[in-house]
Amino acid sequence: MSEIVNKIYRNNTIIFKVILFLITTVSIVYLFPKGIHFKYDFNNGQLWKYDNLYAPFDFAIQKSHEEIKSETKEIEVNSKYYFLYDTKTVSDVKENFKKKFSSLNSNDTLTVSEINNFKNIGDKIIKKVYKTGFLDAKSETIVSNKNDIIVLKKDNEVSDVLFKKLLISKNVLSIIKSDLGNEPYNNGQKAMLDLLVSIIKPNVFYDQALTEKVIDNEVNNISYTKGKVSSGELIILKGDIVEGKKLAILNSLKSESESKVWTDSNYNWIVFGYTILVSLALLMLFLFLYKYRIEIFNNNNKVTFIFFNVFVMIFVQTLVIKYNSDYLYVVPLSILPIIIKAFFDARLGLFTHVLTVLLLGYIVPNSFEFIYLHIIAGIVTILTVSELYKRANLFISVAQITLIYMITYFAFSIIREGSPSQINLEYFVLFALNGLLSFLSIILIYVYEKVFGLVSDVTLLELSNTNSKLLRELNEKAPGTFQHSMQVANLAEAAANEIGANSMLVRAGALYHDIGKMMNPMYFTENQSTGVNPHNDLSPIDSAKIITDHVIKGIELAKKYNLPDRIIDFIRTHHGTSTTYYFYKKEQELNPDTKVNVKKFQYKGPIPFSKETAILMMCDAAEAASKSIKIPTAITINNLIDKIIDKQMSDNQFLNSDITFKEIQIIKKVIKKKLMNIYHLRVEYPE
């Protein structure tokens, strides 16, 4: 049991990667829609590049979304309005007329003959008004064209009526006045007018609920098919253009095939197929890291970061596809190469982006168009996005990426449609939104720095500011060390630029590499301004311990100030496992008969494990040693640099740093040139 535990402990990094691989694969497969893709790829206006296609089974030709939409709109435009004829209102008006007419009947000024005449006129007017119906004032504006036919519902009967035949208020008033006779009215006519105006009420009202119900029923009864294709019937010949009816039949076959295969297929086989595809893509990413980025592969935190970003991009894109595939191009996939490049390098950024796009290409509509668009955009991203700490750079790069999206989509559209007139302008708006969302990369970079402990160029620029609190403190407590660090930073930056290393990283690392000297600044010669050397009162072993301890104290101080691990690596490795040779030889002189333990005079390491940390070791030793040259000349500087760096190489200090002999020779030349510029001879001015 203990042996198994030991094996697990020894291989914990590999086990972690296997678990990460499995979790990412399962998560991505879970997100993918569990359906089968049509085996033919086609677009409107393209040539049919496959063999002659015959119908594998009977299926209906489905109408397009545009056709369904057009039919729905036609139903809405041509549908009749429904109005309700209220018979109760008519009964109430007649009853009310009888009651109120009795008061008119008691008028002593009217004869019996006149009263009977007015009663007949009133009944006649009410009959005329309600023959077709009196329209409610709110319903007058429902129908714009007065010549339209509407449906009038009276009790349980419906009938078509010309809308203009329905009476409105002014029509009713005209009927009353017309039947009462010509003006001026006598007292009886005036009383009758007032009575009729007060009791006659509208009895026809617009029935919105019934109108909408009828429209909905008609829309629901729309046929979604427009014909049938029999099994074995020729659909399209090889070389034919996919358009018109052929396109409609192919779309119908695709839809029918996917649903048919889905219902008849085994769910487990579909998941198994997805798992293989996703596993292969993620395995390629692992192999790339192992073969070309071993330092990233060995760092589980960085591997997790890369896989997490791949998953997030796929997660967001699949969500959009499930919600509405029309917004497919809103998702800013270019964020992925921007972020990967910001923390690592361009090649890894592009490789990761391509694999992610390939995975998504299997689940999106028009997969070739999608893959082509995003790979081209990814390449442009890698080529244009640089120096994110310069605000204008990202704006310019995003504008270029957005323009490439638009140009590429324009090209696809004119190939597919045959002319620019059919281009969907909404896609250009989507690409513009995509560009705006790409600026989220700045926020994400900041968040990832805090969550994963990574360092971007933006942070390196902030750390390189000599006005920061820690560097100000270094300048105050150990001004000589601060000046030494500045010189080393300049040397290291120039050397890194020459061999293509990360110059911003090595500069920041150089500025902080000696911060541990702040704890005992006077024990280091560059800070001894009085000529008094405290080492004279110490044994060589004690002096060596104080000197070597500045690395440990520097690490402690860096952690206290929350410096990133990538900067702490420079503090940890800038002396490697070298020895404090001066104190070691001094100990040998004081104890000639005793074998001196060299480990007591040796730094604890580790040795440099990147090009940047190796550059710092060379520049640090070279700059410090150059101060000891009494008469600096080209020959003395040349010999000194060769001697120091050759000694570091013979001590295997660069064994893990992945740096070549050629690159070391280039670094030597840069250091020599820079030091000769610093120590160049000046003309002696006359007194």
495: left (phi over 0), alpha (psi -120 to 50) or beta: alpha
Q: Is residue 418 predicted with pLDDT exceeding 90?
A: no
Instruction: Give yes or no for a cis peptide into 184 (omega within 30° of 0).
Output: yes
Share of residues in the chain with pLDDT > 70 (%) = 91
Mean pLDDT along residues 460-473: 87
pLDDT band of 232, cuts 50, 70, 90: confident
Q: Which of 28-37, 382-391, 576-585 has the highest mean pLDDT?
A: 576-585
Compute the residue count for the chain. Answer: 687
Q: Is residue 680 predicted with pLDDT exceeding 80?
A: no
Distances (CA, A) of 659 to 41, 309, 495, 611, 649: 48, 30, 13, 6, 11
The predicted pLDDT at position 5 comes to: 46
Q: Is residue 185 predicted with pLDDT exceeding 60?
A: yes
Distances (CA, A) of 22 to 12, 222, 276, 279, 307: 15, 48, 12, 8, 11
CB burial of 326-339 (b: ≥16 within 10 Å; e: otherwise) equals: eebbbbbbbbbbbb
**Side chain identity at residue 496, one-letter code:** A
Strand, coil or helix: 164: helix
How big is the CA angle at 306 (ends 301 and 307), to the nearest 5 degrees?
A: 100
Q: Is residue 612 predicted with pLDDT exceeding 80?
A: yes
Query: Which of 462, 590, 602, 606 has the alpha carbon at shortest distance from 545?
Result: 602
The stretches of 82-233 forming alpha helices (DSSP H) are 87-105, 112-132, 169-180, 187-199, 208-220
- d(CA 673, CA 641) in angstroms, rounded, equals 11
Q: What is the pLDDT of residues 37-59, one digit of tens each?
A: 666 777 777 777 777 888 887 88
pLDDT band of 10, cuts 50, 70, 90: low
Q: Is residue 681 predicted with pLDDT exceeding 80?
A: no
Mean pLDDT along residues 281-298: 90
* Residue where the block lists tokens 């791949």: 310
Q: What is the pLDDT of residues 384-416, one digit of tens each?
A: 876 665 666 778 888 888 898 888 888 888 877
DSSP string of 393-439?
Answer: HHHHHHHHHHHHHHHHHHHHHHHHHSSGGG--THHHHHHHHHHHHHT
Query: Which of 50, 42, 32, 45 has the alpha carbon at shortest distance from 254?
Result: 42
Strand, coil or helix: 679: coil
DSSP string of 357-390?
Answer: HHHHHTTSSSHHHHHHHHHHHHHHHHHH---TTS
Mean pLDDT along residues 517-527: 86
The predicted pLDDT at position 411 comes to: 85
CB contact at 8 A, 163 and 148: yes
DSSP state of 588: H
152: left (phi over 0), alpha (psi -120 to 50) or beta: beta
How big is the CA angle at 679 (ends 678 and 685), to the nearest 5 degrees?
A: 110
Q: What is the pLDDT of residues 325-364, one digit of tens each?
A: 778 889 999 999 999 988 888 899 999 999 999 999 888 8
Provide the token pair at 575. 């002396």
Q: Is residue 560 predicted with pLDDT exceeding 80?
A: yes
Query: Which of 342, 350, 356 has the alpha carbon at shortest distance from 444?
Result: 342
- d(CA 69, CA 189) in angstroms, rounded, equals 59
DSSP state of 80: P
Provide the token pair at 329. 């191009």
* Residue where the block lists tokens 């990426």: 401
CB contact at 8 A, 569 and 614: no
Mean pLDDT along residues 260-281: 76
Q: Is residue 251 predicted with pLDDT exceeding 60?
A: yes
The predicted pLDDT at position 116 comes to: 79
pLDDT band of 285, cuts 50, 70, 90: very high
CB contact at 8 A, 622 and 638: no
Q: Which of 99-103, 106-110, 375-379, 599-603 has the highest mean pLDDT?
A: 375-379
Q: What is the pLDDT of residues 539-549, one digit of tens each?
A: 888 888 888 89
CB contact at 8 A, 75 and 219: yes
Mean pLDDT along residues 456-463: 81
The predicted pLDDT at position 663 comes to: 93
Instruction: Give yes or no for a cis peptide into 521 (omega within 30° of 0).
Output: no
Which range among 175-184, 208-217, 324-333, 396-405 shows the weakest confidence by mean pLDDT?
175-184
The predicted pLDDT at position 616 comes to: 94
Q: Is residue 444 predicted with pLDDT exceeding 50?
A: yes
What angle, 0 to 180 degrees and rounded to 10, lies between the N-to-C axes of helices 565-573 and 540-560? Answer: 170
In sequence order, what are the residues at sequence separation of 6 or more whose Cβ sits closer than 8 angstroms to the Cβ of residue 374?
A: 333, 334, 353, 357, 360
Query: Which of 403, 317, 311 has the alpha carbon at shortest distance from 352?
Result: 311
* Residue where the block lists tokens 């020959």: 635
Instruction: Give yes or no for a cis peptide into 606 (omega within 30° of 0).
Output: yes
Strand, coil or helix: 450: helix
* φ, ψ (nearest 5 deg) of residue 59: -155, 155
The predicted pLDDT at position 310 comes to: 95
Cα 521 to chain centroid distance, Å, stands at 49
Provide the token pair at 653. 């200090």
Query: Which of 400, 406, 314 has the alpha carbon at shortest distance from 357?
Result: 314
* φ, ψ (nearest 5 deg) of residue 206: -70, 130
In sequence order, what are the residues at sequence separation of 6 or more whose Cβ sits closer than 8 angstroms to the Cβ of residue 347?
A: 292
Cα 474 to chain centroid distance, Å, stands at 42
Strand, coil or helix: 206: strand
Domains within the chain, CATH numbers bracketed: 2-31+267-452 (no CATH), 76-218 (no CATH), 457-678 (1.10.3210)
**Side chain identity at residue 619, one-letter code:** C
Query: Which of 40, 44, 64, 68 has the alpha carbon at shortest distance from 54?
Result: 40
- d(CA 148, CA 82) in angstroms, rounded, equals 12
Average pLDDT over all residues of the chain = 84
Q: 288 burial class (0-12, 13-18, 19+ CB within 10 angstroms)? A: middle
Q: 593 burial class (0-12, 13-18, 19+ CB within 10 angstroms)? A: exposed
Q: What is the pLDDT of residues 123-161, one digit of tens each?
A: 888 888 888 888 888 888 888 787 888 888 888 888 888
The predicted pLDDT at position 580 comes to: 85
Mean pLDDT along residues 545-566: 89
Q: Is residue 97 predicted with pLDDT exceeding 60?
A: yes
- d(CA 174, CA 373) in angstroms, rounded, equals 71
* Residue where the block lists tokens 């500011």: 465
Query: Which of 102, 103, 127, 116 has the alpha carbon at shortest distance from 200?
Result: 127
Mean pLDDT along residues 465-484: 90
Q: Are strands 225-229 and 157-162 parallel, antiparallel or unpaired?
A: unpaired
Provide the token pair at 332. 């800013």
Q: Is residue 519 predicted with pLDDT exceeding 50?
A: yes
**Dihedral angle over CA of 537, 543, 545, 546, nearest 10:** 80
- d(CA 454, CA 274) in angstroms, rounded, equals 32
